[in-house]
């Protein structure tokens, strides 16, 4: 099936006519030869970070591109996914005019960003088994609907959504479908990255904050068609990914075995945690998970949350989210942390 999609129908007019800031590092691109750089008003004395970073993060992108089997021109990097998501709003959503669709219970940033950008957020609840309600989503679409946010695996529920539902959305909705794959490295499911060529209206976001263990350096990744990436590159702050982040990210992605070993360990601990939770009298339901956390329905979430705090364990109480009454979200820790947690849980009364 071929998708009818014209990027000119979704880019804001102000972005279309924008002439982007041209940085020193845009106007002269180093080819590696020894030059004297007197073009950016930097301090010339070398301390490792006295120069502006590469605005397009070419070294990092080339490694990522090879590992993900995708071209660098299909990739934009940001200061965490949070920046990537904000840039998507700013590129495509006209304030006080356009709208987006989100599927609660889900990641809270989509709603916050819609508020910051003055874009109406139409909420279509997931079904009771935490799947997208595609007919209801399509009912809420009008000609001002620019984005639908799909978080898969979903935070806080943990499940990856059924492929068919996402596919139907991609084929029926003529705005952009943003699939947030922050937890994809923990899932059995294949990334939607492999389907980018098929769907010109698809944006996939990933992050180094979870499986890659680099939440502190802030690096988010956006994958999309060359046209979409060109728009995002045009509006991003020129030096949005700092030098230290580019270096640390590069070191980490060049050593994918360490990431794989840690992911496997976390998955093993996740199963041990689920086993232990199953034997607890106050646990009412353990929701299926494809992520590095488990959502659990308990008898009294506020009480259990407080009891854990008193034992120096901080979990997330998700009870105020729709469909998540009396739920706690447990992130999977190290084996030692996990054993401590399990021992504490067994003693709660």
Ligand X SMILES: *Cc1c(COP(=O)(O)O)cnc(C)c1O
Q: Which residues bind ligand X (CB under 6 A)?
A: 80-82, 107, 151, 155, 180, 182, 207, 209-210, 215, 220
Pick the closer one to ligand X by CB: 215 or 230: 215
Residue nearest to ligand X (CB): 80
Can you tell me the distance from the alpha carbon of 218 to that of 137, in angstroms, rounded to the nearest whole number? 32
Can you tell me the distance from the alpha carbon of 288 to that of 153, in angstroms, rounded to the nearest whole number? 11
Provide, rounded to whole angstroms, the least separation between the CB of residue 153 and ligand X. 8
DSSP per-residue codes, 294-343: EEEEES-HHHHHHHHHHTT---EE-TTSTT-TTEEEEE---HHHHHHHHH
> Helix or strand or coil: residue 178?
strand
Pick the closer one to ligand X by CB: 82 or 136: 82
Provide, rounded to whole angstroms, the least separation between the CB of residue 214 and ligand X. 9
HEC sequence for 110-163: HHHHHHHCCCEEEECCCCCCCCCCHHHHHHHCCCCEEEEEEECCCCCCCCCCCH
> Helix or strand or coil: residue 50?
coil
Pick the closer one to ligand X by CB: 102 or 207: 207
Pick the closer one to ligand X by CB: 44 or 216: 216
Token representation of residue 129: 């088994």
Pick the closer one to ligand X by CB: 7 or 203: 203
Token representation of residue 322: 């729709």
> Does residue 185 contact residue 158 with C-beta atoms inside 8 Å?
no
Provide, rounded to whole angstroms, the least separation between the CB of residue 206 and ligand X. 8
Provide, rounded to whole angstroms, the least separation between the CB of residue 154 and ligand X. 8
Can you tell me the distance from the alpha carbon of 296 to that of 274, in angstroms, rounded to the nearest whole number? 9
Pick the closer one to ligand X by CB: 25 or 90: 90
Provide, rounded to whole angstroms, the least separation between the CB of residue 256 and ligand X. 19
Provide, rounded to whole angstroms, the least separation between the CB of residue 75 and ligand X. 15
- Please give the torsion angle defined by the CA atoms of residues 119, 179, 130 and 107, in that order, rounded to the nearest 10 degrees: -50
First to last CA, the chain: 56
Pick the closer one to ligand X by CB: 99 or 207: 207
Pick the closer one to ligand X by CB: 150 or 345: 150
Provide, rounded to whole angstroms, the least separation between the CB of residue 23 and ligand X. 24
Provide, rounded to whole angstroms, the least separation between the CB of residue 221 and ligand X. 8
- β partners of residue 328: 296, 317
Query: Considering all CA atoms of the chain, what is the largest pairwise distance in Å, rounded to the nearest integer?
Result: 70
């Amino acid at each position: 099936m071929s998708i009818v999609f014209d990027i000119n129908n979704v880019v804001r007019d102000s972005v279309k006519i924008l002439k982007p800031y041209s940085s020193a590092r845009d106007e002269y691109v180093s080819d590696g030869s020894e030059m004297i750089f007197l073009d950016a008003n930097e301090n010339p004395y070398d301390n490792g970070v006295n120069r502006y970073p590469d605005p397009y993060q070419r070294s990092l992108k080339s490694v990522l591109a090879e590992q993900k089997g995708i071209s660098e021109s299909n990739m934009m990097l940001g200061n965490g996914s949070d920046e990537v998501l904000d840039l998507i709003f700013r590129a495509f959503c006209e304030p006080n005019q356009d709208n987006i669709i989100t599927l609660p219970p889900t990641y809270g940033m989509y709603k916050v960003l819609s508020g910051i950008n003055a874009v109406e957020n139409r909420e279509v609840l997931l079904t009771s088994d935490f799947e997208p309600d595609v007919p209801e989503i399509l009912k809420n679409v009008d000609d001002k609907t620019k984005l639908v946010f799909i978080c898969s695996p979903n935070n806080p529920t943990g499940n990856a959504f059924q492929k068919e539902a996402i596919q139907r959305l991609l084929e029926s909705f003529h705005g952009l479908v943003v699939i947030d794959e922050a937890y994809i490295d923990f899932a059995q499911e294949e990334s939607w990255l492999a389907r980018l060529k098929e769907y010109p209206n698809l944006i996939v976001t990933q992050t180094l904050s979870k499986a890659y263990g680099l939440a502190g350096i802030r690096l988010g990744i956006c994958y999309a068609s060359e046209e979409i990436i060109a728009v995002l590159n045009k509006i991003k702050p020129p030096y949005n990914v700092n030098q230290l982040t580019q270096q640390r990210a590069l070191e980490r992605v060049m050593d994918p075995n360490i990431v794989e070993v840690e992911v496997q360990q976390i998955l093993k601990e996740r199963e041990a945690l689920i086993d232990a939770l199953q034997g607890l009298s106050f646990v009412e339901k353990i929701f299926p998970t494809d992520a590095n956390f488990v959502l659990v329905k308990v008898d009294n979430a506020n009480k259990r949350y407080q009891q854990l705090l008193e034992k120096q364990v901080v979990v997330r109480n998700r009870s105020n989210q729709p469909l998540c009454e009396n739920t706690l979200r447990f992130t999977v820790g190290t084996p030692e942390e996990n054993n401590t947690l399990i021992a504490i849980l067994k003693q709660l009364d």
